[in-house]
């Protein structure tokens, strides 16, 4: 917390003013936050990342996956886990201040509260202070209430189909599990952004504690550097403390758990000290030694500062490639064919031999498909799949048994290898199943 009240003021030696800083982090952070907010909204609404719990489905990059599609889920989860750890190791808590929805909406809520207060005080100056405070609070809570409905909608649509949610919202559904969940999330969101805000980051959120475990001597920090005695440059203006939304004084230590590395105190100090002809005293730095922005090779400036980071990048690349391969190999129509060997073969009245097969078809896409089966390398074979082709609706699973019928041909043996080709409409290549056809012993030429 602030220590400005107890520190003696250092006499200010004025020098000619410096030009304003070329780079301010606050506007950069706000632009980045806007992009992250748009991504947060787009992910569930465009099916880029969403878990549909009632439908037992997972959406990733518009691919509709079944919860049991393990390879894709495994690579996706491992990639996300390593990404979170890598960001914490490389860039400290930059995620918290630049990208986390909790921080974006907490700062937005605080900004709305301040602007509402100012607006009411300016426009309704004739009212008494108590009336103005009450009116400002009512307007603020109304705005946060409306925003909470929208945010709860976006958040819940990570888990429930958005169109289904709209229907529930239109009917004010607070009776079904989905409706009750939506109402509860709205209430929690309102409480969070009206009252809790950044206190959530320092009390509940585990990311800050995780950061303390993961960071090392090269992790990005916000650091205060000043001389001592006559060389001391800080003018004790306290602006870096007042601007800090987390309520800390960065001059005490760069390792305070509350610090989210937002850089607002850097901007504040630059703006104050440059007016008296000095550069700011607070900086981003790679550990305590190297200021960010120092003349270094590009990979160091991007945070790739040692072999450990290179290894983590390789692991991340591995999981990303695995995810890409798993997604590219995925078929929207999954066909499984297995022989039913409860009876090895059946003799038909017309002298042909029948082998029994079992087929399962899962349509994991959003449009109906038709699956046609053909036999290959089994001369004169007939399949009794009925109907053929089989029509399968979106998200439908079908299971059938059918016979493969054939006569022995010159050169056939008791066990004959052949292929079944399952060709789904919309798919360019058939799925191929290597099978065996069994004739009775001595029943072939």
Residues that bind ligand SF4 (CB under 6 A): 222, 224, 234-240, 243-244, 246, 248, 250-251, 259-265, 268-269, 272-273, 281-282
Dist. CA 194–CA 187, nearest whole Å: 10
Enumerate residues 6+ apart whose C-beta is below 8 A from 55: 161, 395
Enumerate residues 6+ apart whose C-beta is below 8 A from 100: 207
Cβ 267 to ligand SF4 shortest distance, Å: 9
Cβ 317 to ligand SF4 shortest distance, Å: 31
Three-state DSSP class for 294? coil
Dist. CA 95–CA 261, nearest whole Å: 9
Q: How far apart are the first and last CA of the chain?
A: 94
Nearer to ligand SF4, 230 or 349 (CB): 230
Cβ 106 to ligand SF4 shortest distance, Å: 12
In DSSP terms, 437 is beta-bridged to: 416
- CA dihedral (128, 130, 133, 135) positive or negative: negative
Dist. CA 340–CA 363, nearest whole Å: 23
Cβ 326 to ligand SF4 shortest distance, Å: 39
Token pair for 190: 């309102």
Nearer to ligand SF4, 238 or 287 (CB): 238
Nearer to ligand SF4, 17 or 394 (CB): 17
Residue 297 CA: distances (Å) to CA of 90, 94, 301, 387: 16, 21, 7, 66
Nearer to ligand SF4, 258 or 296 (CB): 258
Cβ 242 to ligand SF4 shortest distance, Å: 9
Angle between helices 101-123 and 129-156 (to 10 degrees): 150
Nearer to ligand SF4, 274 or 300 (CB): 274
Dist. CA 280–CA 109, nearest whole Å: 29
Cβ 238 to ligand SF4 shortest distance, Å: 5
Nearer to ligand SF4, 99 or 265 (CB): 265
> Among residues 151, 214, 211, 208, which one has the least CA distance to residue 182?
151
Dist. CA 76–CA 65, nearest whole Å: 12
Cβ 117 to ligand SF4 shortest distance, Å: 22
Residue 85 CA: distances (Å) to CA of 13, 93, 146, 229, 309: 45, 11, 35, 40, 11
Cβ 17 to ligand SF4 shortest distance, Å: 15
Cβ 26 to ligand SF4 shortest distance, Å: 10
Token pair for 71: 């390879």
Cβ 268 to ligand SF4 shortest distance, Å: 5
Token pair for 331: 């078929």
Enumerate residues 6+ apart whose C-beta is below 8 A from 220: 90, 91, 92, 94, 261, 284, 285, 286, 292, 303
Dist. CA 167–CA 185, nearest whole Å: 17
| Residue 62: how many other CB atoms lie within 10 Å | 10
Nearer to ligand SF4, 281 or 353 (CB): 281
Nearer to ligand SF4, 57 or 261 (CB): 261
Nearer to ligand SF4, 171 or 232 (CB): 232
Token pair for 158: 């990570």
Nearer to ligand SF4, 165 or 246 (CB): 246
Yes or no: say if 316 and 90 are a contact pair by the CB < 8 Å rule.
Answer: no
Cβ 270 to ligand SF4 shortest distance, Å: 8
Cβ 264 to ligand SF4 shortest distance, Å: 4
Nearer to ligand SF4, 89 or 235 (CB): 235
């Amino acid at each position: 917390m602030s220590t400005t009240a107890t520190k003696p003021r250092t006499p200010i030696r004025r020098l000619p003013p410096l030009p304003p800083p070329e780079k301010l982090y606050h506007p950069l952070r706000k632009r980045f936050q806007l992009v992250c907010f748009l991504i947060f909204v787009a992910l569930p609404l465009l099916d880029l990342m969403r878990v549909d719990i009632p439908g037992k489905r997972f959406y990733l990059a518009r691919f509709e996956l079944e919860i049991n599609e393990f390879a894709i889920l495994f690579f996706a989860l491992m990639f996300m886990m390593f990404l979170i750890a890598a960001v914490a190791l490389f860039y400290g808590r930059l995620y918290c201040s630049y990208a986390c929805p909790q921080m974006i909406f907490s700062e937005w809520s605080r900004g709305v509260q301040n602007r509402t207060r100012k607006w009411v005080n300016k426009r309704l100056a004739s009212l008494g202070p108590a009336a103005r405070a009450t009116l400002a609070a009512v307007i603020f809570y109304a705005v946060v209430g409306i925003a909470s409905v929208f945010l709860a909608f976006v958040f819940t649509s990570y888990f429930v189909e958005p169109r289904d949610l709209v229907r529930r919202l239109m009917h004010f559904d607070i009776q079904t599990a989905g409706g009750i969940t939506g109402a509860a999330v709205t209430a929690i969101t309102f409480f969070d952004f009206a009252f809790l805000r950044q206190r959530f980051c320092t009390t509940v959120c585990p990311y800050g504690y995780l950061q303390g475990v993961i960071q090392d001597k090269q992790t990005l920090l916000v650091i205060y550097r000043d001389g001592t005695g006559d060389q001391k440059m800080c003018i004790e203006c306290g602006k870096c403390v007042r601007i800090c939304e987390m309520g800390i004084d960065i001059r005490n230590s760069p390792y305070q758990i509350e610090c989210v590395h937002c850089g607002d105190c850097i901007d504040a100090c630059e703006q104050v000290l440059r007016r008296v002809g000095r550069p700011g005293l607070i900086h981003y730095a790679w550990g305590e030694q190297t200021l960010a922005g120092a003349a270094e090779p590009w990979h160091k400036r991007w945070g790739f500062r040692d072999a450990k980071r290179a290894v983590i990048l390789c692991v991340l690349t591995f999981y990303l490639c695995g995810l890409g391969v798993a997604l590219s190999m995925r078929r929207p129509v999954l066909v499984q064919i297995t022989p039913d060997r409860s009876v090895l073969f059946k003799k038909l009245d017309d002298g042909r031999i029948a082998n029994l097969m079992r087929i399962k078809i899962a349509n994991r896409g959003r449009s109906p498909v038709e699956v046609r089966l053909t036999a290959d390398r089994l001369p004169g074979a007939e399949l009794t799949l009925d109907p053929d082709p089989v029509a399968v609706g979106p998200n439908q699973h079908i299971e059938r048994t059918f016979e493969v019928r054939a006569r022995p041909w010159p050169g056939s043996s008791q066990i004959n290898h052949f292929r079944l080709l399952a060709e789904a409409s919309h798919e360019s290549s058939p799925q191929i199943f290597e099978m065996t056809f069994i004739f009775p012993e001595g029943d072939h030429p």
